[in-house]
Amino acid sequence: MAMVYAVCKCANGYVTEAMNAVMKYAVEKMKIREISTVYAKENPASGHVLQKLGFQVVKEVPYECNGGEIVTTGRLCRYKV
């Protein structure tokens, strides 16, 4: 399962709420036991959302944005049930 989301700067919790519902479905209905994701290090808002959802940072990794036009540092995160 792959997912891409864009965070609006409205800070109303919509992304957290939506991702929480997706994760609940994945765990309860699809029986997924681990979810991994990467976000760009210079995007702390995404990191904050993932932290609120229970993800833990595992390590820093190369991260490509805009179809590989930009290569930066990403943070690999995992959520384990």
Give pLDDT tens digits for 59-81. 999 998 878 888 999 999 999 99
Whichever domain contains 41, its CATH number is: 3.40.630.30
What's the CA gap between 64 and 57, in Å, rounded? 18
In a domain, 21, yes or no: yes
Output the pTM of the full model: 0.81
Containing 76, the helix (H) or strand (E) segment is strand 70-80
Q: Are 56 and 34 in contact (CB under 8 A)?
A: no
pLDDT, one tens digit per residue, over 16-63 is 888 899 999 999 999 999 999 999 998 888 899 999 999 999 999 999
Question: 76 phi and psi, to 5 degrees?
Answer: -80, 130
Which domain, by its residues, includes 73? Answer: 14-80
In a domain, 3, yes or no: no
Containing 24, the helix (H) or strand (E) segment is helix 14-28
